[in-house]
Structure 1
Amino acid sequence: MTVDSDAVTSTVRISDFVLGLPKCEMHLHLDGTLEPSMKLDLARRNNIEIPQSTTAQIRESFRFHDLPTFLAVHYSNMNVLWTSRDYEDLAYSYLQISAQQNVRHTEMFFDPQLHTSRGVPFPDIVNGYRRAIVRARIDFGMSAELIMCFLRDYTAEYAMATLMEALPYKDWIIGVGLDSDELDHPPAEFSEVFARARSEGFLVTMHCDVDQVDSAEHIRQAIADLHSNRIDHGLNVLDDPDLVIAAREKGLGFTVCPLGYGTHPCGMAPELERIHAMLEAGLKVSVGSDDPPYFGGYLAENLQACIDVGGFTEAELVTISRNAFETAWVSERRRVELLEELDDYARRHGLPA
């Protein structure tokens, strides 16, 4: 199996084992998969002037040093996305790359407020994404779902209004989440929004980023008060033994992003140590790629980093993949299919199934 795409910019060699491993990705921002080549193509298609004229110049502009500067770069790139076709192309490109990396199921975040705030109609966004999901099911035999995130640096009232816009599309959106800049925006700020979302049948996840102010308290709010079904990032759960126990008892999933942590001041290795500690504590950790063009790789590259930088074993990668399938928002029939596929792969490689 090979990955032949200009979109994959990492120079890391992916082992045959990692590439062939049946995978599930649940921490991926569709808005953050805009590759430089696609940005250039969409700018031309939509007659939008951008400061760069080559993909190399665009990639050079993907520079940041912390979450606020990342968000500034990321948000500025969204101005080339306008039509339903744009969103379909964006999602299909990610799904195609993921299929080449043997991702069998994916649950993709999208941030409609990044676009509705610019005047893009909500239906154009979700219809484009839905068409890509249907095409990927036909073309690649992979399953995919949408998770709609609220931007926590916008108001809770705007989040509630966005939730109301999503209600006609409940069959296409499996859950809701919370992302963007966490500073001064704890999960509790959006408690009414998530309560309404749960009452409408949406599953719930939310970002609890690494080493934020009151990180452990935010995780506690997400678990105990907002009844989150999963936590995105959440490495600071280790700061409170009671939180570890609560998360383990609930079978709560944690979606972590190794290459993204490489932008932290101390680099990726300390965060991989924390991820390893979470696994040893019996927490259901899975790996995602977050925003691949910005962090240098898709899911396979992130898993390879676990081996190359973190010293993870192949057996631990099987556990990570199993955690993902066990905490994915799929039917039990689909879950059994995916786990059987994973177990067969593990047996063929002499690993516990």
Structure 2
Amino acid sequence: MPSNSPETAAPPSSGPDADLRAFVLGLPKAELHLHIEGSLEPELLFELARRNGIALPYATVEALRAAYAFGDLQSFLDLYYAGARVLITERDFYDMTMAYMRRAQADGVAHAEIMFDPQTHTGRGVAIETVFAGIARALREAQASTGVSGYLILSFLRHLSEEQAFATLAAALPLREQYGDLWIGIGLDSAERGNPPEKFARVFAHCKALGFRLVAHAGEEGPAAYVRDALDLLQVERIDHGVRSEEDPALLQRLVDAQIPLTVCPLSNLKLRVLRDLRDHNLARLLRGGVMVTVNSDDPAYFGGYVADNYIACAQALGLSRQELAALARNSIEASFLPWEQKEKLLRRLTAYIR
């Protein structure tokens, strides 16, 4: 990974870097763009492989980590889907989700909206009930024990067909009564190239009619036009990534005027070569231009940083002030799908912390 990415080792005990880390960890924040399968650390991946008798093409954790050198989004997705093969039982999904929730709490996350990809698992013969049960049990236990709340966003894989998305939705809907307190949203992820938003217009219209909150990946490797189409054709409320919106001034002004949130993932953009140097990232320009940008980790096990690492790396590379870091945290809370009274509670916590 480029030299300007954050180290995962323990931070220094004193000095400016330690002060910055302490400030970021203390910021009450929400994480809105996190793929739970992308939080599967190599150590747990190996443990689950042993538990389930699955052979891995890597001999050691170190060898697997060395493979995390991606040329583009597709090269990452190939490894991501291969790693997901170790997730078989409810316990596997529980362990993965609980590991993320513990890390999120340590990073100062008060609320997480977690994306999950049922098609990645049902295509391997894992029942969708198993996927829901493991993830949901971890979210409920984490909220009871730590106070960190969580929602679920069921995401369709855009490289598959809309018919397959409809089938996945039909399989999941009988579980809505059981998990309706957690499952509040529908998303769209996987490879953008060749899979424009319009491909899923009918299924998103159906999900909107069912009362789901809607988000979609757009404008990461796809053009700014995909962001506009996600808004107009899919009727989404948030754009996941969206960094290429800047290429269309009219679209950018629309994002500012309507305060449509972008869930930006800076270290992911760096790792997937959306840009070559974090100092070139447009996060600061977007924020200072009035766009409601938020900072998130995307697939932190693969991209070398959880949400606090992303805040810190951006502060260092882009010269963000503490006030701007606090504004990013505020945006994350306001852009969440929490009820307004819960948002107000978190915003009061944030205001008190800044003071």
TM-score, reference length from structure 2:
0.91
Give the drift of 1:211. Answer: 4.5
> Is 1:195 the counterpart of 2:205 in the alignment?
yes
Q: Give ranges in structure 1 of 5+ residues lacking alignment.
A: 1-7, 348-353
Q: What does residue 204 of structure 1 align with?
A: 214
CA contact (8 A) 1:40 1:53 kept: no
In the TM superposition, residue 271 of structure 1 has moved relative to its aligned partner by 4.7
Letter in 1 for 2:270: G
1:102 Cα offset (Å) = 1.3
Measured in 2, the distance between the counterparts of 1:289 and 1:54 equals 25
- The whole-number CA distance in structure 1 between the counterparts of 2:245 and 2:276 is 19
Q: CA deviation at 1:311?
A: 1.1
Shift, 1:210, TM fit: 2.5
The answer as to 2:78 corresponding to 1:81 is no
- Indicate whether 1:295 and 2:303 are aligned: yes
For 2:153, the equivalent position in structure 1 comes to: 147
Q: Which runs of 5+ in 2 are unaligned?
A: 1-5, 12-17
8 A contact 2:97–2:138 mirrored in 1: yes
For 1:133 and 1:143, the matched residues in 2 are separated by 7
Using the alignment, how far apart are the partners of 2:9 and 2:298 within structure 1?
18
1:246 offset after TM fit, Å?
A: 2.1
Structure-1 separation of matches of 2:132 and 2:307: 24
What is the rounded CA distance, in whole Å, between the counterparts of 2:136 and 2:347 in structure 1?
A: 25
The alpha-carbon deviation at position 23 of structure 1 amounts to 1.4
Q: What amino acid is aligned across from residue 349 of structure 2 in structure 1?
A: E
2:275 maps to 1:269: no
Residue 252 in structure 1 maps to residue 260 in structure 2: yes
Q: Which amino acid aligns with 1:269?
A: L
1:94 and 2:92 aligned: no
Task: Give the whole-Å Cα distance in 1 for the aligned partners of 2:278 and 2:43.
Answer: 31
Identity %: 38
Name the Cα RMSD after superposition: 1.5
- Residue 54 of structure 1 corresponds to 60
Q: Which digits, 9 at most, give the CA deviation of each residue in 1:67-103, with x for residues without a partner?
A: 1111111111111100011001110000001111111
Tell me, yes or no, if structure 1 residue 329 matches structure 2 residue 337: yes
1:270, CA displacement in angstroms?
5.1
Matches within 5 A, 1:11-160: 11=9, 13=11, 15-160=21-166
What SS is found at the alignment partner of 2:318?
Answer: coil
Partner of 1:180: 190
* C-alpha distance in 1 between matches for 2:93 and 2:330: 30
Moved over 3 A (4+): 11-14
C-alpha distance in 2, partners of 1:31/1:49? Answer: 19
Between the aligned partners of 1:308 and 1:44, the Cα distance in structure 2 is: 40
Aligned to 2:323: 315
Residue pair 2:286, 2:293 contacting (<8 A) in 1 also: yes
Q: For the Cα contact (< 8 Å) 1:258–1:268, is it kept in 2?
A: no
Aligned length, in residue pairs:
337
Instruction: Give the conservation status (yes or no) of the 8 Å contact 2:192–2:221.
Output: no
SS, match of residue 286 in structure 1: strand
Distance 2:145 2:59 in 1: 33
Contact 2:219 2:227 in 1 (8 A): no
Instruction: Assess if the C-alpha contact under 8 Å between 1:223 and 1:247 holds in 2.
Output: no
